[in-house]
């Protein structure tokens, strides 16, 4: 347990993490990878280069410390981070390594503020945070392994088929190399693809949303806009990939409320999976999508077919350029009538897009408790 004195010291020193600048985060990861280079097989090195991962780690630790006296919010954050960690195969032995480098970084860069007393408080708090996550992750690993078709660690799949969904997005149909059953998943979840790209030193891991159900396998739909996605787009049929089991908590809430699915660009992928589930029910669904133009509108024909077959489905599109959409320019939720006070809203897409839609919804008197969202990458708070 964290003593009242230690908790007070944590609160007083939170700005050290909450406002951690580039120098702090760069020092931490330089130190971490220098002492434990094998961790580069786990961390997304593209996010390292952009600074997203560094910011996310320090922001998450600051949020954990803030919520230590708020059990409900602490439980929500623990579940959210644990889902990401099990997808990346984070193990208990990684926590002491990260903790030691975190404390050493703060000790080095803030010698005046990070006194031995403050360090002791943070070491205590980090131990509590680590224990919470290790316990939550152990339960998820066991659940994944014990379910029908489940497994632990990485399992070999191969690309059985691929289909172009739009100018930059391909769907990949992945089947298990051993031919055995695969674990079920919940709409909105993702799988982690681990690959060793030729002429690179470290394995790369990326999360890709499961975009639709296929027999004894998984479908992911990938935009060609990064190191791993570019590699996948040039892979021939039969290419073998390593997959972690399905994970993620961006899933439909079990209620009878109307659902509004809002996506931008390749953020359409979890929405397609969710819609596959929702169209079997009687509740009304609004499917709102924005993209650059008709050539980049993934799953367009499938959505047209679904709308023709389901009178409870309302689809609306926005193109920033060209014809063929219901609206031109950027998405404006005021353009259509939505059940603002009754519905659950699900958002996925580029962070700037989701942040804009989130604030539109809040301005329209939608409660934050009605809004759920998924980040492609380190988590960020859209309300900030």
Q: Say what the pTM is.
A: 0.83
pLDDT at 28: 83
pLDDT at 383: 65
> Catalytic site residues?
95, 137
d(CA 352, CA 61): 23
> Which domains does the chain show, CATH number per domain?
4-146 (1.10.490.10), 155-247 (2.40.30.10), 259-374 (3.40.50.80)
pLDDT at 109: 85
Consecutive 10-residue averages of pLDDT for the chain (384 residues): 83 75 77 83 57 61 80 86 86 92 89 91 91 93 91 96 97 98 95 90 90 95 93 97 92 92 97 93 92 97 94 96 96 96 96 95 95 72 67
The answer to whether 374 and 247 have CB atoms below 8 angstroms apart is: no
| Residue 164 neighbours by CB distance under 10 Å | 11
d(CA 238, CA 348): 30
From the list 291, 283, 304, 282, the residue with the least C-alpha distance to 348 is 291
The answer to whether 69 and 7 have CB atoms below 8 angstroms apart is: yes
Collect all residues with Cβ–Cβ distance below 8 Å to 306 and sequence separation of at least 6: 275, 279, 313, 315
């Amino acid at each position: 347990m964290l003593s009242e004195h230690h908790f007070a010291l944590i609160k007083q020193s939170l700005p050290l993490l909450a406002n951690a600048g580039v120098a702090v985060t760069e020092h931490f990861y330089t130190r971490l990878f220098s002492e434990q280079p094998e961790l580069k097989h786990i961390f997304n090195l593209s996010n390292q280069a952009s600074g997203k991962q560094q910011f996310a780690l320090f922001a998450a630790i600051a949020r954990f410390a803030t919520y230590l006296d708020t059990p409900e919010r602490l439980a929500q954050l623990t579940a959210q981070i644990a889902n990401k960690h099990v997808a990346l195969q984070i193990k208990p032995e990684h926590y002491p390594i990260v903790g030691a480098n975190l404390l050493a970084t703060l000790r080095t860069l803030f010698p005046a503020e990070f006194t031995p007393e403050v360090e002791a408080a943070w070491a205590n708090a980090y131990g509590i945070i680590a224990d919470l996550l290790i316990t939550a992750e152990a339960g998820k690993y066991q659940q994944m392994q014990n379910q029908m078709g489940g497994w632990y660690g990485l399992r070999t799949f191969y690309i059985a088929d691929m289909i172009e969904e739009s100018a930059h997005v391909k769907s990949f149909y992945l089947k298990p190399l051993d031919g055995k059953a695969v674990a079920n998943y919940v709409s909105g979840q993702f799988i982690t693809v681990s690959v060793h790209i030729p002429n690179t030193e470290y394995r790369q891991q990326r999360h890709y949303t499961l975009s639709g159900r296929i027999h004894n396998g998984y479908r992911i739909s990938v935009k060609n806009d990064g190191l791993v996605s570019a590699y996948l787009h040039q892979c021939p049929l039969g290419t073998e990939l390593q997959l972690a089991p399905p994970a993620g908590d961006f899933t439909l809430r079990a209620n009878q409320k109307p659902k509004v699915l809002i996506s931008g660009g390749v953020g359409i992928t979890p929405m397609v999976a969710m819609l596959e589930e929702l169209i079997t029910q009687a509740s009304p669904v609004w499917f709102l999508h924005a993209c650059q133009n008709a050539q980049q509108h993934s799953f367009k024909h499938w959505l047209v077919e679904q709308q023709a077959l389901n009178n409870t489905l309302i689809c609306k599109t926005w193109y920033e350029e060209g014809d063929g959409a219901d609206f031109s320019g950027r998405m404006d939720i005021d353009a259509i009538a939505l059940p603002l006070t009754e519905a659950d809203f699900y958002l996925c897409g580029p962070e700037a897009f989701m942040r804009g839609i989130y604030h539109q919804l809040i301005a329209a008197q939608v409660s934050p408790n009605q809004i759920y969202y998924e980040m492609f990458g380190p988590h960020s708070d859209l309300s900030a």
